[in-house]
Amino acid sequence: MKLLSNVSVTDSGAYDASLLLTKRVTSSTELGVGLGVSNDEISLRCSYRRDRHFFNFPIKISNELDYKAILLATIAPTALYLGINTFIYKPLRRRWKRQELYEKRIDNYHKTQNQREKALQEKEKMRDAILRSRVNEESVQGLLIINARYGNLQDDEGVTSVTPQDELPPYIDVTDQLQFQVLNSRLHLPPVSKTTLDGFYDPCPGEEKSLSIIYRFLNTTHRVEVHDEDELEIPSEEDKLGGEEPTTDDQYEEEEDDN
C-alpha cells in the first residue's frame, strides 16, 4: 500500500492537489482512492491502473473550499478502502490463493507418484518390524508413537485445507515409519530433511515442512513438533503434556539405562 501526493500550479494561479492511497491487487493492477482539491471543487478521486494504462474517476463533493467537505472527502475514502479491503479484496485474495495452491498440489500429486509408491513399498517391508517394536515398547512402558504427521502442518489464512474434503492434504501420516526407527525406547533423527528417512517422501514440494509427533513414554503422553531439517531426540521431559502424572528426569534416565 502506498500514499501518493501531487500538486500542480499553473501560471494563471489555478491549482490542483491530490492525496491518493493506492494498493496493488495483482502484479499488474493497482487501485487507489483519495482526496482532490482545486480552485473550483473538492472531489473524491478513485483511480485504476493496469500496466501502463491509468484511469482517474473524480466524484465532486463541493464547488468551493469547505472544511466540512474536505473532512467528508477524507473520511469517505478511508471507509471505502476499509470496506473494499475487508469484504471484497481479502475474501477474493483467499479464494485465488486457495485455488492456486490447490492446482499446484494436484500437479505435485502426479509428479510425486513414483516417490509415493516407493515410500509405500518401504513401509510394507517394515510392517513386521513395526509390530515387534510396538509389542516390545508396550511391555516396558517405553516409547510408543501414537500419531505423527509430516509436511505442511500450518494453516495460512485457511489455505492448507484447500477443499472441504481436503482430498490432497499437504502432509502424510508417518506414525508407523517413526515407530520403526525406535531403538531401546529412544528415537533420534539427524539434522537433515526427513524426506531421506525410510517410508517418507515430500508430500508438498516447495512448501515449508515440519514433523509433529504425539507419543507415550512411561504411560505419559508427550507432543513435539520440529522443522524439517531440525534434529530430534525423544523422549524428552519438555514434551510432556499438561494434566499427566508427574515424571522425573531420573525416570527418563533409568528407562534408558534399563534398555
Residues of the chain with pLDDT under 70: 155-167, 243-259
- 125 with 244, same domain? yes
Q: Is the CB of residue 173 less than 8 Å from the CB of residue 120?
A: no
pLDDT at 155: 57
Last residue of a domain, one of 109, 127, 142: 109
- 139 with 53, same domain? no
**What domain range is 145 assigned to?**
113-258
Last residue of a domain, one of 65, 80, 109: 109
pLDDT at 15: 83
Measured in residues, the chain has a length of 259
- 77 with 195, same domain? no
Last residue of a domain, one of 109, 134, 163: 109
Domains identified in the chain, total number: 2
- 74 with 142, same domain? no
pLDDT at 128: 97
